[in-house]
A = this chain, B = another copy of it.
């Protein structure tokens, strides 16, 4: 098994981005044959995908592929990129649902078309509606394109269909997680807990699908695929819980994101659920004054943080992360891996669970 040098990793990032760029160049050209307006829609999607994204999912596919002994990354690039496309599709639709206009620090599809339509539609609500309509269609295009890309990989047709099956299951789960998350904003979902949302909204299509697919493409046995999947699921949930902590306790200068946003929004994460279980009546009462309050000050936010620490909610979340991490390690120990592969996965565990941004 080959060791992957840093230089090769960088090369794949470039290749991923070149692949994405070539894809959009071609689609924009094809769209122009239908209409310059359709061309403009594709250009907006291209602009957005080039504006950001850490290409986490494609990298995870390549990581699992290499860790399990795959050595022809070029042949599977389209499948790696497809993971990014489905992610973008979900983000575009998610932003409509969350009524967000910004993504990666730039206008998303809705945000951009709101500006484009300004000269045509004077009524603000109508303008938003048409901009959202463009975004609905843009998401559909990325969803369909993801499947198309998978089919383009230079691997045998039977394997491609198996990849699509895993991929489809991921979409089924992420949409489920997204739907529960959306409904939880306005209705009491009883037994639904943030852990389920973390599992289905994040762990499934961000970790399990890309890594399982990578293992499959490397020719891993069914058993090893299952272990990789279990590894990815546990790391994925740990990643999400860590994300929840960073959302409240992170260093704004490092994360580039507001750390009062989640408090202002009253976002019900795993850590918040722990708080409700652990807090005294007094603590809960103080908490409610600030949590979900649109006008929280920096001081109020600091109070919330203290309560999360004092109640033990933060610690319990950290313990949960450690437990998921342990389960992930246990799963991967069942797989026979070269030393280099073990190091790759170990490095990844640290990035996912110890990160501060």
The chain A residues found within 8 Å of chain B, CB to CB, are: 27, 30-31, 34-35, 37-38, 41, 89, 93, 96-97, 99, 117, 120-121, 126, 129-130, 133-134, 136-137, 139-141, 143-145, 147-148, 151, 156-158, 160-161, 164-165, 168, 171-173, 175-180, 182-183, 185-187, 189, 192, 196, 200
Task: Check B37 against A175 for contact (C-beta < 8 Å).
Answer: no
- When distances are taken between beta carbons in the complex, the residues of chain B under 8 Å from A136 are 93, 96-97, 136, 139
Q: Which residue of B lies closest to A180 (CB)?
A: B35
- When distances are taken between beta carbons in the complex, the residues of chain B under 8 Å from A176 are 31, 34-35, 38
Extra A-B contacts (8), CB below 8 Å, given A38-B176, A145-B168: A30-B172, A34-B177, A35-B180, A97-B133, A143-B143, A148-B165, A151-B168, A161-B161
Bound complex: CA A200 to CA B31 (Å): 11
CB contact between A93 and one of B129, B137, B157, B180 (< 8 Å): that residue:
B137
Task: Check A144 against B161 for contact (C-beta < 8 Å).
Answer: no
Q: List 16 A-B contacts (CB under 8 A).
A: A30-B172, A31-B176, A35-B189, A37-B183, A37-B189, A117-B186, A121-B186, A134-B182, A137-B175, A137-B178, A139-B140, A143-B143, A143-B144, A148-B164, A151-B161, A151-B168
Task: Check B133 against A182 for contact (C-beta < 8 Å).
Answer: yes
Task: Check B140 against A196 for contact (C-beta < 8 Å).
Answer: no
CB contact between A175 and one of B129, B140, B148, B178 (< 8 Å): that residue:
B140
A168-B140 contact, Cβ under 8 Å, with A37-B179, A161-B160, A186-B121: no
Bound complex: CA A92 to CA B25 (Å): 29
Task: Check A140 against B171 for contact (C-beta < 8 Å).
Answer: yes
Copies of chain A in the complex: 2
Task: Check A164 against B180 for contact (C-beta < 8 Å).
Answer: no
CB contact between A144 and one of B38, B99, B156, B171 (< 8 Å): that residue:
B171
Question: Smallest CB–CB gap between A28 and chain B, Å?
Answer: 12
CB contact between A151 and one of B34, B137, B165, B172 (< 8 Å): that residue:
B165
Bound complex: CA A327 to CA B331 (Å): 63
Task: Check B143 against A180 for contact (C-beta < 8 Å).
Answer: no
Task: Check B117 against A175 for contact (C-beta < 8 Å).
Answer: no
Task: Check A35 against B192 for contact (C-beta < 8 Å).
Answer: yes
Residue among A35, A145, A157 with max Cβ neighbours from chain B (10 Å): A35
Task: Check B34 against A133 for contact (C-beta < 8 Å).
Answer: no
A134-B37 contact, Cβ under 8 Å, with A148-B168, A172-B144: no
Q: Which residue of B lies closest to A122 (CB)?
A: B186
Bound complex: CA A179 to CA B96 (Å): 17
Q: Which residue of B lies closest to A33 (CB)?
A: B176
Bound complex: CA A137 to CA B173 (Å): 12
Residue among A37, A97, A126, A157 with max Cβ neighbours from chain B (10 Å): A37
Bound complex: CA A141 to CA B137 (Å): 14
- When distances are taken between beta carbons in the complex, the residues of chain B under 8 Å from A175 are 137, 140-141, 144
Question: Smallest CB–CB gap between A109 and chain B, Å?
Answer: 12
Residue among A27, A156, A158, A179 with max Cβ neighbours from chain B (10 Å): A179
Task: Check A180 against B133 for contact (C-beta < 8 Å).
Answer: no
Bound complex: CA A183 to CA B38 (Å): 10
Task: Check A143 against B140 for contact (C-beta < 8 Å).
Answer: yes
Q: Which residue of B lies closest to A144 (CB)?
A: B171
Question: Smallest CB–CB gap between A217 and chain B, Å?
Answer: 15
Question: Smallest CB–CB gap between A250 and chain B, Å?
Answer: 28
